[in-house]
Amino acid sequence: MGIQSIVIRVADIDRSLDFYAGLLGGEPIGVADGERATLDFVTGTVELVRFENGTESVWVEDDLYRGFRHVGFVVADIGRYVEEVARRGIRVRFGPMDLGTGMHIFFVFDPDGTVVELVQGDVTYTEVFDVELVEAARALGAAERPRLDHIGHTVDSLEASVDYYAALGFGNAGKLVAPGDPRGMRMDYLRGGDTVIELFSWSVPTAANPPRPGSYGFAAAVVDGSPTGERIGSLGDGRTVLADPDGLPLIAGS
């Protein structure tokens, strides 16, 4: 399955439900109790966990900072979300942009500072490494409703990260190189089941940005397999959070 769930620390469950269910169309699973809520996004879930007295998200604008960059959802009609984001006054990070390849992207912030990417269309790879993985992704087709697609993650060593996630069942479908980028941005798409770890690597040095368990926003990705790494905390429900070699918080899935 790859990524089972995205866990997000939030200040207000109802406010976050308005974003993830009201705007993005996630379907609630069970009954939200003011402390936790889980939403179905077809290929995975989003878990909202209320957190008191948290600090601001540690996310930094520059993609050269290692670790979590964004969570991505595939949508059928990105224009509809652009209009709704404007109507609601939601903060935009970037876009919308037509990449000229049939893909459209749009980045916004959720209420607690997590960057969310909306994607319409398929990736056009600079080089394909695994045809079967690419075909499996395209076989999913257009999203009837928004589906969890990927996590964007900046890494220091591409080779080491590919090996790390291969041990968790992710295979490298292909790469996309940004033409003309003076920093040499490259994206590799590590696919596990119907989801992806989108690795950002660069030809210039990257900087560490360690996760802080007391901050709002993205808390961890629940993944198949048994991730290894430094223990950086827990969610208070018995699940331990580990950091991958570049600081991406992970939880072993059930």
Tell me the C-alpha to C-alpha distance, in Å, between residue 245 and each of 40, 77, 158, 174, 225.
Answer: 29, 36, 11, 21, 16
Q: What is the percent of the chain with per-residue pLDDT over 90, rounded to a whole number?
A: 81
Ramachandran category for residue 169: left, alpha or beta (phi over 0 → left; psi -120 to 50 → alpha): left
What's the CATH code, domain 67-201?
3.10.180.10
Q: Where are the domains of the chain?
A: 3-52+210-252, 67-201
What's the CATH code, domain 3-52+210-252?
3.10.180.10
Task: Convert the pLDDT of each residue in 159-194 to its tens digit.
Answer: 999 999 999 999 999 999 988 889 999 999 999 999
Lowest mean pLDDT among 50-54, 85-89, 186-190: 50-54
Distance of CA 94 to the CA centre of its chain: 16
Task: For residues 199-213, give the mean pLDDT.
Answer: 93
Is residue 85 predicted with pLDDT exceeding 80? yes
Task: For residues 36-47, give the mean pLDDT.
Answer: 97
CB 115 within 8 A of CB 97: no
Is residue 237 predicted with pLDDT exceeding 90? no
Q: Give the Cα separation of 16 and 177 in Å (integer).
A: 34
Q: Give the Cα separation of 103 and 112 in Å (integer).
A: 27
pLDDT at 58: 84
Is residue 1 predicted with pLDDT exceeding 70? no
Task: For residues 224-232, give the mean pLDDT.
Answer: 95
Is residue 238 predicted with pLDDT exceeding 70? yes
Task: For residues 102-115, give the mean pLDDT.
Answer: 95
* Confidence class for position 146, pLDDT limits 50, 70, 90: very high
Neighbours of 238 (CB within 10 A): 6
Is residue 219 predicted with pLDDT exceeding 80? yes
Q: Same CATH topology for 3-52+210-252 and 67-201?
A: yes
Task: Convert the pLDDT of each residue in 192-202 to its tens digit.
Answer: 999 999 999 99
